[in-house]
Amino acid sequence: MQKKIRGKENNTNDFIYGDLRRIDFKTRRYVNNIKYRLKLLALNENKFAKKVYLMLKIDIETRPEKENWCTLLKSLMSNLGLFDALYFQQVGNQQYFMALVKQRLADQFIQKWN
């Protein structure tokens, strides 16, 4: 019964965000996750955060049944049609890439809202 109540609340929020031409918080969180990944890629190999990221990335290959931050990011980027950026570990022009990510997330949100 709680799921129905939560679904109604989310639908109402989606409607309000869509009607005001705003992006929901979940979409903003996705954008922040991708931005953070770009920062991790730019880090020196000796930095602790980069080592943890590489370890999580290896876990995707060795233990595909386990879910971690990298598996969720992989799923998100695949859903956006940006798996190549994940696979090759580079995006080229970061400003253009982030604009593309934001546009695709906004498009998906609008489709869901409609």
Residue boundaries of the structural domains of the chain = 24-113
What letter represents residue 70's amino acid? C
Percent of the chain with pLDDT over 90: 13
**What would the pLDDT profile of 41-66 be if each residue is shown by its tens digit?**
889 999 999 999 999 988 888 988 88
Distance CA 85, CA 9 (A): 34
What mean pLDDT is reported for the chain? 80
pTM: 0.72
Distance CA 13, CA 32 (A): 20
- pLDDT, residue 7, reads 47
- pLDDT, residue 36, reads 92
- Give the chain's residues under pLDDT 50: 1-8
Distance CA 69, CA 82 (A): 17
